[in-house]
Amino acid sequence: MVLAFDLGLKRTGVASGQALTGSATPCGLLTASRGRLDWSKVDALIQEWQPKTIVIGDPQSDDPHLAKLVNRFKSHIQQQHKIPIVEVDERLTSVAANAELSQQRLSTERKIELRDQVAACLILESYFRSLSPSSL
């Protein structure tokens, strides 16, 4: 089991998946207050899913607030859970998620709620594609 997080200053999408199937499923949305995640909710997801690896999107951004959030997240996971973290280039995943959701008949609010979770799925599926067959 692998969990992926599309970290954001307002919303963080979460997806789960299996390397064997190479597919990902949305499994949650965490909201941030002033760029701060509720660590108890992150911990609860990890407790529930028991991932062997955590994948996070690397935003490739110059935004110091986002970089601080990514670093805090990695530090928390390492200190509290000691689970390996893999960073995956996430550029354009939100754009791709918006494009995917625009084809569905959903309210704007529902699309906003799902966008970050779908982006987390895209990040996770990208990670699975990068694995060699022998590592599955």
Instruction: Delimit the domains of the chain by residue range.
Output: 2-135
For the domain made up of 2-135, the CATH class stated in words is alpha beta
pLDDT digits 0-9 by tens, 61-88:
788 988 899 999 999 999 999 999 999 9
Q: The pTM is what?
A: 0.86
Q: Where does 2-107 have alpha helices with state H? A: 39-49, 64-80, 93-102
Q: Residue 104's pLDDT is what?
A: 79
Give yes or no for a contact between 4 and 120, defined as CB atoms under 8 angstroms apart. yes
The CA distance from 116 to 11, in Å, is: 7
Enumerate residue ranges in the chain where pLDDT < 50.
Answer: none
